[in-house]
Structure 1
Amino acid sequence: MTDTSTEPTTSADWATVARERENERDGAYRERAHLVALLAAMTDGAVIAPALDIDDEPGWQIAYLTIGGRQASWHISPRDAELFEQVPHVPTDDPRARWDGHTTDDKYDGIRQQAGALWRQCGPECAEMHRFEGRCRA
């Protein structure tokens, strides 16, 4: 028998649970946006463009980065736009803002490969250069 004593019992309870879950989701997306903004600041050629594939909420953008010779892109919520003020904003017809067809798995596989390659090439010495001298010159 399942203990249901902690499950919501009224529509108001369910609404509270839904708001809590939405806040958790938004917090995770905000955290991801911070990391993508940092990565964009460290990646030559990063751009951000309006997202034409989201019609129901204006202001969405897509950040496009080239990591290890492969494109990676993320949708950026309007509430996270200020994190990307330093990234060059381009129109949707800019060649740098054309999705190359990569999947989410492709994107993260490429990032995993690039992270491994950077570690093998540079190691902790490179991390020190990033912290104190800007981009790695290795």
Structure 2
Amino acid sequence: MAALARELAHKQEAEARWQQHADAFARHADDASRDRAMLLAWVTALHPATAVIAPAAEPYGGGSHVVVLTAGGWHTGWPVAPLYLPLFPHVERVEPSDPRAQWDSPTTAQTYARIQEHIRLLVLEDEPSQGARGA
């Protein structure tokens, strides 16, 4: 019986350690989500003429919205959890059927490539290593 009690105690300690790891991961994920929402709110404030927000369709749903920006002639969007909607009072609300709420970047990789291209055009970057100021 003592061996079973020790084994149970050992398993409970291991479970507690794993729960601490899971809790830390959840805190980091929450921090990253908040940072992402803050940065997106900032970008939409810098580009008010092309930013809209609409209720999200599946798979996001659940009160989530999608922020869509137009840059370089293409639309790209990011889901925004209901918790972060108060960060976007400056963004025009539209219906999901509004053409401005339709993004045309079906993959994350394509979105990132388009953003990189837009950055390159904005800073008139000749060589990737020079950056915006030629440093």
Question: Quick one: distance in 2 between partners of 1:25 and 1:102?
Answer: 24
Matched residues in 2 for 1:85 and 1:12: separation?
41
TM-score normalised per structure 1: 0.73
Counterpart of 2:50? 45
> Percent identity over the alignment?
34
Give the distance between the partners of 1:78 and 1:20, measured in 2 at CA.
22
Note if 1:114 corresponds to 2:134. Answer: no
| Count of matched residue pairs | 115
Q: Please give the root-mean-square deviation of Cα atoms over the aligned residues, in Å.
A: 2.1
Query: Equivalents in 1 of 2:93, 2:45: separation in Å?
Result: 13
Distance of 2:87 and 2:121 partners within structure 1: 28
Kindly indicate whether the alpha-carbon contact (under 8 Å) linking 1:64 and 1:97 is maintained by their aligned counterparts in 2.
yes
Q: Are the structure 2 counterparts of residues 110 and 101 from structure 1 closer, same or farther at C-alpha, using a change threshold of 3 Å? A: closer
- Which consecutive segments of 4 or more residues in structure 1 shift more than 3 A? none
Aligned equivalents of 1:105, 1:9: Cα separation in 2: 41
Query: What are the equivalent positions in structure 2 for 1:1-138 lying under 5 Å apart?
Result: 9-43=13-47, 44-54=49-59, 58-120=62-124
Rounded to whole Å, the distance in 2 between the matches of 1:34 and 1:13 is 32
- The SS at the match of 2:69 is strand
Tell me the SS of whatever aligns to 1:48.
strand
- Return 5+ residue gaps in structure 1 as ranges: 1-7, 125-138
* Deviation string, structure 1 residues 84-127 (Cα, Å, up to 9, x no partner): 11101111111111232531111111111111111118x67xxx
CA contact (8 A) 1:71 1:102 kept: no
**Structure ID, larger Rg:** 2
Letter in 2 for 1:47: V
Unpaired segments ≥5 residues, structure 2: 1-11, 126-131
